[in-house]
Amino acid sequence: MSAIPETLIEKIKALQPQRRVEVEDFVDFLEARERGKAVRWLGKAFEKLDALNESPMTPEEIQVEIAAVRAERRARNTDRR
């Protein structure tokens, strides 16, 4: 979603101060819920990695992976032109 619609901002501004606090609390709740989903997803990802029982990548292997991804991205961007 792009920028917040101006109508939503105007509606929030028109609320009584206590109602604005409630809206802010609700937005905080939504953000916390989303962070919780991300944390659970990350936890499951780590469990899957642990189940592979492989040794961690070396810094050199990580750099090779990064270079490969960057090269792929550059190639994709060049193809779009």
Mapping DSSP onto H, E and C, the string for the chain reads CCCCCHHHHHHHHHCCHHHHHHHHHHHHHHHHHHHHHHHHHHHHHHHHHHHHCCCCCCHHHHHHHHHHHHHHHHHHHHHHC
64, part of any domain: yes
**Residue 40 predicted with pLDDT over 80:** yes
The pLDDT score that the predictor gives to residue 59 is 96
10, part of any domain: yes
pTM of the model: 0.48
60-65 average pLDDT score: 96
Structural domain boundaries enclosing 11: 6-80
60, part of any domain: yes
The pLDDT score that the predictor gives to residue 60 is 97
Domain count, the chain: 1
57-69 average pLDDT score: 96
1, part of any domain: no
20-49 average pLDDT score: 92
10-22 average pLDDT score: 93
